[in-house]
Amino acid sequence: MGKLILIIGFYFRVMDKATQNHNLTYAAFLWTSVLRAPFWAIYSLLLVILYKDLHASSFQIALFIALKPVVSIFSMYWGAVVNKRPDRLLSNVVWAGVIGFLPFLLFPLFYNPWYVLFASALYMTMHRGVVPAWMEIFKRNLPGGTKHKVFSRGSTISYVVGALLPLVIGPLLDHYPLCWRWIFVLTALMGMGAIFAQYRIPIELKVKPEIPSPSFKEHFILPWQNAWKLLSTREDFRAYQIGFMVLGGCGLMIIQPCLPRFFIDGLGLSYTELAIALTLCKSVGFVLTSSLWAKAISRVDFYRFSSVVTLLGALFPIILLAAKFNLVLLYLAYLAYGIMQAGSELGWHLSGPIFAKTEDSSAYSSVNVLTVGMRGLVVPQIGSLLCLFGSSTVILVIGSLCCLVGTSTLLLFRSKSYVAKQIIG
């Protein structure tokens, strides 16, 4: 009887610890999402601010578009420090938030497109680099399918908050063009406030790691070696990278350089109209479908799931082109983009744990970040060149076709895998 009581007591103690780990991680991610939502609402308009208010050159516009993906290469090194080092997970998340938001506090002092580019580069480096740490924390503290639900709910809350802000930010920017500098200061301070919730995330260390710190050369080369090893040995993961991360991502990225010209010179949009499309409509699409994507990812084949995302990506530029005839279609295009982004964010963030299964997922997540960076070195520059020699219509059609090829690649690999399983079976 005594042994039975001890066993029952041990069970409830373990269960309580697991529940506590889940709740604290859940709360930290929700607070992080909520407090960073206002920053994302104004950050989504930064490309137009550069073009309209700071009169950035074509080269600076192209550089800004390229920065977001290119810095992912440097993000890989920030994320690589947590590979098989659970003792570094929490500090990685906390410091990424502090370093990323810090330059935006100085926006009132620097009315210069080059400083905006610097601040954006540093922020996106930290924003991308922290993904492996967050996903490994999810894997450790959130059992089974709950990580899908937690990520979906956190993202949904972030988009709900962000959806309301355009109604305030758009008119403010139209009437007070330079107020965006102070809006960035306020929202950056709010974003940094998430560290108080993050500090409470529990990280269980079964055995304290005693791994010697790698040399500078090893630290530089190791992430590339890990990425090559994964892509060489895991055909399934390689197919996902080609279809979703490369082709699908390139399709959406190549159209970015032509969008400011399309919005301002082609459609003649105000800040209010842009804010409603880029944040409100996109957020509505995201929020309405986020829970559906979360259910689908645990029930539907992952390649089919990803192919639906890239198919929606192919539809976005086509609907955007139709906005020349009716402005309502601009809002419909970004509603569709929000639906696509809800699936995309969930898919590429959680693809690491999905492919890793029982392995450490940070290596898989780091490859995702690396792929984003590598395509960013080339694709925005191609898009900028196309802007010089071609019309926005041609570029949008090219982006759509690229996403369609990505969809076909994912479905072909899924069919190939299914046939192989049937033959083996």
> What would the pLDDT profile of 248-280 be if each residue is shown by its tens digit?
989 998 888 888 778 877 777 777 777 777 777
* Cβ 359 vs Cβ 219: under 8 Å: no
18 sits in the region (left: phi over 0; alpha: psi -120 to 50; else beta) called: alpha
Asked whether residue 209 is assigned to any structural domain, the reply reads no
What is the rounded average pLDDT of the residues 291-317? 89
Kindly state the percentage of the chain with pLDDT values over 90.
12
- 247 falls in which pLDDT band (50, 70, 90)? very high
3-state secondary structure of 111: coil
Residues 6+ apart with CB under 8 A from 337: 282, 285, 312, 316
265: tokens are: 């010179």
CA distances from 399 to 66, 91, 231, 377, 379 (A): 16, 39, 25, 17, 11
pLDDT digits (tens, 9 = 90+) for 371-385: 877 787 788 778 878
Query: Tokens in use for 157?
Result: 């809350």
Mean pLDDT on 115-137 = 82
Q: Tell me, what's the pLDDT at 287?
A: 79
What's the CA gap between 243 and 407, in Å, rounded?
Answer: 7
Sequence-distant (6+) residues with CB within 8 A of 2 are: none
Structure confidence at residue 213 (pLDDT): 56
Distance in angstroms (rounded) separating the CA atoms of residues 94 and 192: 9
Residue 211 lies in a domain: no
The enclosing domain of 340 has a CATH number of 1.20.1250.20
Whether 331 and 94 have beta carbons less than 8 Å apart is answered as no
Q: Say what angle helices 113-129 and 89-101 make with each other, to 10 degrees.
A: 170
Task: Kindly report the pTM of this predicted structure.
Answer: 0.65
The answer on pLDDT for 174 being more than 90 is no
CA–CA distance, 233 with 216 (Å, rounded to integer): 26
Residues 69, 380: contact at Cβ < 8 Å? yes
Out of 51-55, 82-86, 240-244, 369-373, least confident range: 82-86
Question: Across residues 311-317, what is the average pLDDT?
Answer: 94
**Domain range enclosing 230:** 2-202+216-424
> Looking at per-residue confidence, does 334 or 45 come out higher?
334
Which tokens in the block code for residue 385?
A: 């060149």
- Of residues 15 and 288, the one with the higher pLDDT is 288
Mean per-residue pLDDT for 1-14?
42
Nearest to 234 by CA among 364, 116, 146, 389: 364
Q: What pLDDT does residue 3 have?
A: 47
CA distance 54 to 71: 22
Helix (H) or strand (E) run with residue 59 in it: helix 58-70
Angle between helices 392-424 and 302-322 (to 10 degrees): 160
pLDDT at 75: 65
The number of domains in the chain is: 1
pLDDT for 141? 79
* pLDDT over 60 (residue 128): yes
pLDDT computed for residue 319 by the predictor = 92
How far is 245 from 236, CA to CA, in rounded Å? Answer: 13
The four Cα atoms 255, 259, 262, 267 give a dihedral, to 10 degrees, of 130
Amino acid at 314: A
Residue 366 has pLDDT above 90, yes or no: no
215 CB-near residues (< 8 Å, 6+ apart): none
139 within a domain of the structure (yes/no):
yes
Mean pLDDT of 25-30: 84
Is position 207 within any domain?
no
Q: Summarize the confidence of residues 334-350 as an average pLDDT.
A: 87
- What average pLDDT does range 1-9 have in this prediction? 42
Residue ranges in 130-215 assigned as alpha helix (H): 131-141, 146-164, 166-175, 180-192, 195-198
Amino acid at 368: N
Q: What is the mean pLDDT of the chain?
A: 78
Looking at residue 11, its amino acid is: Y
> Would 57 be classed as within a structural domain?
yes
Please provide the distance, in angstroms rounded to a whole number, between the alpha carbons at the two ends of the chain: 49
- What Å distances lie between residue 388 and 59, 159, 344, 382, 384, CA to CA? 11, 35, 30, 10, 7
